[in-house]
Amino acid sequence: MSLTTDVTPFEVGVEPVEPPVVRADLTSEQEDALLAVGREERLRDSLAIERTPLMRRATLRLAQTESLVRIAERNGFRLESRDRDRQVLRSARGDRVVLRRGDRGGVRIHSSGTPDAIQTIVREHSRVQAVEYLRRSGFAVQEARLPNGEIQILAQGQTGGRPAQVAVQVRSNGSYVADVDRTQGTACAHIVHGLVEATGGQVTATDLKPAYHTPVSEKTTPKVRV
């Protein structure tokens, strides 16, 4: 075992928020909040709205919204509208998700309906992006969904012509722990870097194992009998 790392996709985690009252000088975030609770008609007419149930918002570290839209559509959402920076999606049971790419990077997401709508989409995004990256890297991948909502991913393959094993535990909120085993030197760091880039996350903690500091030559130089 050479490296274990903890990764989060969130700039700001999921938090409850009440949608604002409609007025003429709404910010883009307030518009997104109103769209998420299905108030676009009243938004256009600039009418006051009655109190609505709490909704939720979060900010992701992703640089774009396309992969999130794709994942949401795979999980029962339909794209209702799209413009340059914002997409509005709705599920068959009425849940809404509004995605907006931030001016300074990141993706802001608002949701209404099911309390865990954001976490479900982010978890699936982390899972799909991790699996696709590992398969592109030549790993054989197996997955298992656990009763607590977490997902286990086990990948077997090679890096730099040498065996490697990657275990990814995706939590119910979309953050994950990646454990790289059977590698030598810094090969594990390259795997994790690619994984983090693919999922759009940020490393929050890393535990380097003894094998990380072991030069490849110490374990790979063959002994020759004379």
pTM greater than the 0.85 cutoff: no
Q: Are 120 and 97 in contact (CB under 8 A)?
A: no
| pLDDT tens track for 58-108 | 999 999 999 999 999 999 999 999 988 899 999 998 899 999 998 778 999
Give the whole-angstrom CA distance, residue 212 versus residue 224: 26
| pLDDT tens track for 97-150 | 999 998 778 999 999 988 899 999 999 999 999 999 999 999 999 999 999 999
Task: Sheet with 96-101: list strands edge to edge.
Answer: 10-17, 55-60, 107-112, 96-101, 86-91, 77-82
Look up residue 111 and give its DSSP letter: E
Question: What is the maximum alpha-carbon separation in the chain?
Answer: 91
Give the whole-angstrom CA distance, residue 18 versus residue 50: 11
Torsion sign, CA atoms 191, 194, 197, 200: negative
Residue 39: which pLDDT band, with cuts at 50, 70 and 90?
A: low
Q: What is the pLDDT of residue 141?
A: 98
Question: In order of start, what are the domains of the chain with their CATH numbers?
Answer: 3-8+122-216 (3.30.160.110), 10-113 (no CATH)
pLDDT at 221 over 80: no
Q: What is the pLDDT of residue 172?
A: 96
Q: What is the pLDDT of residue 41?
A: 47
How high does pLDDT run on average in the chain?
85
- Return the higher-pLDDT residue of 215 and 110: 110
| pLDDT tens track for 185-212 | 677 888 999 999 999 999 999 887 665 5
Q: Flag the least confident range among 39-48, 82-91, 130-139, 174-183.
A: 39-48
